[in-house]
């Protein structure tokens, strides 16, 4: 039994997220499994590094699957390119140790969120960024981000419903770069929960608009309730950028 690691790039605009759904075949996981199962002549289950929500994109999503297929790696790569839809591309295929697990072995994930902070939106990037017309105070946003660095209970920053799963995560870095109104927020951490990055971004935007004070972030964390954090930033601006093992 071979264990195959793949790195995938996808535009999530028209999909209902990564995870396979019982009532829809319009997910990234389903599309991959359909093509790989036909390629291998057996049912293939693809394990992703994590689930991206509907409309979220990935530059370097990592996944693995087990197969008896003897097709060489480079031919698998060509097969995927030929038969997957054009908004999903498998960038690399590599046979790895049988112990490798795309989800359980993750050490660091990096997400990038794009904001267009100009009076008018950019026609060519409008599908991949969040247009905020009013000026954002980047210094205030950076100050607020500092409170989120480190290990915290991020229950206020997730829509996760389960009370059994831990909501403690460690955020290593949050970098905010403004390039003439094109703002990039990159966040690195050991793991992220449902809508966590988008809630962090939404809260930082509200700080940048002076709707929330940067010093309130600690209080929001301490209250451990979703209703105290900001709005959920649109999915279209979010990219899974890196997964490190």
Q: Are 109 and 189 in contact (CB under 8 A)?
A: yes
Whether residue 188 contacts residue 108, with contact meaning beta carbons closer than 8 Å, is answered with yes
Q: Which run of H or of E encompasses 22?
A: none
Distance CA 106, CA 100 (A): 10
Q: How far, in whole angstroms, is CA 185 from its chain's centroid?
A: 13
* Catalytic site positions: 53
Tokens 């929330």 belong to which residue?
212
β 88-96/2-10 pair status? antiparallel
Three-state DSSP class for 96? strand
Q: How far apart are CA 164 and CA 155, in angstroms?
A: 12
């Amino acid at each position: 039994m071979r264990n195959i690691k793949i790195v995938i790039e996808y535009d999530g605009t028209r999909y209902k997220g990564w995870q396979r759904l019982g009532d829809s075949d319009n997910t990234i996981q389903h599309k991959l499994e359909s093509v790989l199962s036909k390629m291998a002549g057996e049912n293939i289950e693809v394990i992703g590094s994590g689930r991206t929500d509907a409309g979220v994109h990935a530059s370097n999503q990592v996944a693995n699957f087990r197969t008896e297929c003897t097709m060489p790696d480079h031919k698998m790569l060509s097969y995927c390119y030929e038969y997957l839809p054009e908004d999903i591309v498998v960038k690399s295929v590599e046979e790895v140790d049988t112990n490798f697990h795309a989800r359980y072995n993750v050490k660091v994930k990096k997400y990038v969120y794009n904001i267009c902070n100009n009076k008018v939106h950019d026609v060519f990037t409008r599908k991949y960024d969040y247009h905020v017309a009013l000026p954002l105070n980047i210094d205030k946003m950076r100050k607020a981000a500092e409170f989120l660095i480190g290990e915290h209970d991020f229950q206020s920053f997730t829509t996760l419903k389960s009370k059994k799963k831990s909501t403690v995560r460690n955020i290593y870095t949050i970098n905010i770069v403004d390039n003439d109104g094109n703002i990039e927020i990159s966040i690195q951490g050991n793991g992220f929960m449902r809508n966590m990055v988008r809630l962090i971004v939404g809260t930082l935007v509200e700080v940048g608009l002076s709707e929330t004070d940067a010093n309130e972030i600690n209080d929001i964390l301490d209250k451990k309730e979703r209703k105290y954090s900001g709005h959920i930033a649109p999915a279209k601006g979010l990219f899974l950028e890196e997964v490190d093992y």
